[in-house]
Structure 1
C-alpha cells in the first residue's frame, strides 16, 4: 500500500514538549495525525517498509533525474523513521517483530508498505 505522506523522523522529546512548540515536535505530531487519518497499517511480521524521501527543490533537473529511485544515504536514519511510523500507528509497537526498511529518493514523499508474508503464501 502506498501512502502519500512525507516521512518524518521521531524527535527526541522532553517533558517540556508538552507545552513548548518546537518545530521538530510539531512536524512529528502532524505526521502522526496524518498517518492515523489515512489508517496506515503495518503488519506484525513480514513487512517491507519503503520510505520515499523528497528531493530538495534546489536540485537541478539533471540531478533529480539521476537520483530518482536511488538509495537515500543521508539523515534522517531509517531507524528513526521506523520509530516514528510505528509509534504513530500502533498502540504497542513491540508487536511488530519482523520488518525490512528501505530509504529511496523520489519526487515527492511517500511511505510504501508491502506485506512480504502474503506474497510468499
Structure 2
C-alpha cells in the first residue's frame, strides 16, 4: 500500500474553458493546486513505477475549520464530518487528475474508491493506493 500525505488545503475542481484557464483567477489557482499535488506525490513516490491494473484508492480530505466559528465549535470540530461545499466528487476529481502519470497510468484504473471529508486543524489530503485483484462472482443460472 502507498500512502501520500499532501499538505494542502483541499480544493474542488473548477470548470474551465480553453481560454479561461489562462485568465480566470479560480482556474489559475486550481491548476496551481493540482501542480502542487503532482509535485508532492512525485517527491513522496521517489521514482516508483506507475501502478498497473486495477487499484483501490482511499482519500481523506482534511478540511480547514472556519475562523469565523466560535471557540467552542472550533474545539469540537476536528474529526467531525464536513458537509458543505466543496462537493466530494469535485475534490476527488482534482486528486485523480493530479495523480495521472504520477502514481498510476490513468485514473480509469481505479475500480474502488472511498473518500471522506472531515474537519481538521491541519488541512491536507491523505491518499492510500493499493493494487487489487479481480473479484469473481459466480454467474447465476
Question: Residues 7 and 109 of structure 1 are in contact (CA less than 8 Å); yes or no, is this contact kept in structure 2?
Answer: yes
Residues 86-97 of structure 1 aligned to structure 2 (within 5 Å): 86-91=96-101, 92-97=106-111
Q: What is the RMSD of the two structures over their aligned residues, measured on CA atoms?
A: 2.3
SS of the equivalent of 1:85 reads helix
Query: Residue 10 of structure 1 corresponds to which residue in structure 2?
Result: 13
TM-score by length of 1: 0.83
Structure 1: 5+ residue stretches without partners: none
Larger strand proportion of the pair: 2
Query: Residue 119 of structure 2 corresponds to which residue in structure 1?
Result: 105
SS of the equivalent of 1:72 reads coil
Residues 12-51 of structure 1 aligned to structure 2 (within 5 Å): 12-20=15-23, 22-39=24-41, 45-51=55-61
SS of the equivalent of 1:19 reads helix
**Superposed CA offset, 1:49-86 (max 9, x none):** 11011111122221111111100000111100000111
Q: Within 2, Cα distance between the matches of 1:32 and 1:75?
A: 18
Query: Residue 70 of structure 2 corresponds to which residue in structure 1?
Result: 60
Question: Residues 82 and 118 of structure 2 are in contact (CA less than 8 Å); yes or no, is this contact kept in structure 1?
Answer: yes
Larger helix proportion of the pair: 1
Structure 2: 5+ residue stretches without partners: 46-50, 133-141
TM-score by length of 2: 0.72
Paired positions, count? 117
| Structure of larger gyration radius | 2
